[in-house]
Each structure stands twice: as structure tokens, then as C-alpha cells.
Structure 1
Amino acid sequence: MDVLTHLFLPLTVAFAVRPEWFDSPAWLALGVFGLFSDFDKFVGAPGLLHSLVGVVPMSLALVGLGRVLDRRGWIDDATTAGRLAAGFVWSHLLLDVIDGGPVPLLAPLFRTGLGLEYPARVVFGAEPLGLAVSGPLVALRIVAPRPGFNAYGFINGFGIASVLTFAAIYLGRRSRASDNGIASSDNGNEFQDDELGCRDDGGDR
């Protein structure tokens, strides 16, 4: 799966579910943790950081660091930030499994990884209705990652769609929040004007 999908699809889900976590735009930078597992490719050991051996310690370290920073008062809501960053780390494995993998969850003990593939094909001009689905909708793929340094796709159409979806949801929510803030301010001003009017009427009497 491409870099843009790993960055923006988890961010989109997190922002849609808990937008209040991202009141500060700086929190969007946590999405970078969605790329953590791909750093194993820099050392020519694909799969090393796609395993529980790499992901579990990293997640625990992020959560623990968040708690420490929170207790010392250095960063507000650092505990939530740590958990969110850990969630982004795990999202990489989930997306890679959905995209076909292979994700070797037990590496380096077992090099074999797993992923899903979708072999179903729509056949037109077949069957009485002129339409048929050939092959299973979902199949499990079990294979070991290619060792060493390899070439990988960088971005694709799904990644671009992920960026556009995130931008639409993020900017839309920010715009509505801004409009609600302006409306609340206008209502407050009207209320103050009404109070002043009532006091003036009372003084005239």
C-alpha cells in the first residue's frame, strides 16, 4: 500500500471518530507513525517491523512515553497522543493485510506472512442474466516477503483518494466549527444589546 494511504486513511478515520483530538493541527503530525513499519525496508529486512516483535514494543513505548509526559505536565493530553500514535502504528499492519501483504506477524521466528487478495471477476455475457461472478470474493494469501532491498510503489490512485477524502472531512468540519463560533458570538452580542435596551427602558420610566 502506498505512502499516502498509510498517512491519510488512519488520520481520516481518527478525525471522523474523535475530531476533538485534533483541535490543535499539530496533532496531525502523529499520522507519521503510520509509516513506522516501513522503516524495515531501509535496512533490507522487509517484514522485521511488520511483526509483533517490532510493533508491540514500539506501541508500549509510545503509550508509556505519553503517560510520563502527561504526569510531568510537559505536554497536555500526552497520554491520548501516545495511544493515538500507537494506533497509527498498528494501522499499518491492518492496511497491509487488507492490501495483500505479506505481513509476517511472527517474524523473525517465522518468515511466512499473510494477506488478503480478491480474485473475484465479473464476467459479462455469461449466464442467463448476462452477468456472473467468477472466483471467491476474498482469499487468504500466505507467502514470505522478498528479502533484501526491493523496489516498491510510492503513490497510487487510492492514496490520492485518501488525501482528498481527508481534506474534505477536515476542512468541512473546521469550516462548520468556525461558522458555529461566529453564530454563537452574534447571538451573545444580540443578547447583550437586548439587556442594554431593557435597562434603558427602565431608566426612562
Structure 2
Amino acid sequence: MDVLTHLFLPLTVAYAVRREYFESPWWFALAGFGLLSDFDKFLGVPGLLHSAVALLPVSLALVGTDKSLTGELGASRLAVAFAWSHLVLDVIDGGPVPVLFPLVESGVGLTYPARVVFGADPFGIAVRGPMVALRTTAPRAGFNAYGFLNGFGIASALTFAAVYLGTESASRENDSGSRENGVELQRNDKDGRKNDLDSRGDGGDR
């Protein structure tokens, strides 16, 4: 799966579910943890960081550091979610993801062999093959060539942009409406006090 997908698909989900975490722009940088697992490619050991055996201590270190420095777990919780999302997306994309490397070198991934055949069977259409299949194989050892961008990554980036801009626009409109309502309430309050004073003055004249 390409770089943009690993960055923007988890970021879109996190932003939609926990928007309050992103009041500071620095929190968007945590999406970079979604690329952490791919650093094993620079080492020439594919699978080293695509493993729960490696990510678990990294996650615990992030949580411990965050807790000791801030007393909270907001940033580390988000960073850990981004890091683990890489494995989930790679499994969905076919893998192989060696989740127990180096204890078990074989990895897993999902494939989708089903094909729609037109002009077949009495109804003119048929689905051949299973919808989902499990693939098990070991990653290719050593340094390899990998795809960098694809259409789904571009779509993921555009989806995040649409969600972010739409949400921010709606938030600004709500803030503007709240300010206008506040001004209107203040105006009504002043008018009410003025009318009250006028009515008291009229009563005194009588």
C-alpha cells in the first residue's frame, strides 16, 4: 500500500472520530507514525517492523514516555493507533504481513479472487471465485523495489482534504452564528432594561 494511503486514511478516521485531538496542528504530525513500519525496508529486512513483536515494545515506550512527560495518554494513544493501522491496512491490501516476525517468518494477507463474468450463465452475469481468501507467504528478503503512489492514495488524500475543509467551514459558520446570537441576546437584554426603566418612569409621572 502506498505512502499517501498509510498517512491519510488513518488520519481521516482519527480526525472524524476524535476531532478534539487536532486543535493543535502539531497533532497532525503524529500521522507520520503510520509510516513507521516501512523503515524496515531501509534496513533490508522486510517484516522486521511489520510485526507485533516489534510494535508492542515501541507502543509501550511511547505510552510510558507520554505518561511521564505529560501525565496523559492522548498523543501516545493516537501515535500507537497510527502505527498499528499500517499492519491492518497491509493485511487488507494482501500483505504479506509477518505479524510474529522473527518468531514466524511467514506473513498473512487478504486477496480478493472473485471475478464478475458477463455474458455467462442464464442471467448473463456470474461471480466466479471466492470473495475473500487468506494468503500466507514470507516477505521477500533483502532490498526490493516498492510502489510509492497509487490512485487509492490520491483518493485518500483528497478525502481527508474534503473532510477537513468541510468540518472547518462548518465550525466557522457555527462560531459566526453563535456570535451573532450573542449580539442579538445582548441587544434584546438592553432593550428589555430600557423598556423596564421607561415603564418605571411612566409610573412615577402618574
After TM superposition, the score normalised by the length of structure 1 is 0.94
Q: Deviations over 1:140-162 (max 9, x none)?
A: 11111001110100010000010
1:60 aligns with 2:54: no
Q: Deviations over 1:151-200 (max 9, x none)?
A: 10001000001001111111111111111011001100111111111222
- Aligned partner of 1:56: which letter? L
Tell me which residue corresponds to 2:31.
Answer: 31
- Return 5+ residue gaps in structure 2 as ranges: 202-206
- Aligned partner of 2:94: which letter? G
The CA RMSD measured in Å over matched residues stands at 1.0
CA distance in structure 2 between the partners assigned to 1:14 and 1:121 by the alignment: 33
Structure of larger gyration radius: 2
Aligned residue runs from structure 1 range 44-59, under 5 A: 44-59=44-59
Give the % identical residues: 64
How much has 1:203 moved relative to structure 2? 3.1
CA distance in structure 2 between the partners assigned to 1:143 and 1:152 by the alignment: 17
Aligned residue runs from structure 1 range 1-205, under 5 A: 1-71=1-71, 78-204=72-198, 205=201
Displaced runs of 4 or more, over 6 A:
none
CA distance in structure 2 between the partners assigned to 1:2 and 1:203 by the alignment: 70
After TM superposition, the score normalised by the length of structure 2 is 0.94
CA distance in structure 2 between the partners assigned to 1:32 and 1:50 by the alignment: 15
Tell me which residue corresponds to 1:75.
Answer: none
CA distance in structure 2 between the partners assigned to 1:24 and 1:203 by the alignment: 48
Partner of 1:122, secondary structure, is: strand
Q: Deviations over 1:80-136 (max 9, x none)?
A: 110110011100000000000000111112211010000110000000010000100
Provide the aligned length of Structure 1 versus Structure 2: 199
- Return 5+ residue gaps in structure 1 as ranges: 72-77
How much has 1:61 moved relative to structure 2? 1.0
CA distance in structure 2 between the partners assigned to 1:128 and 1:46 by the alignment: 47
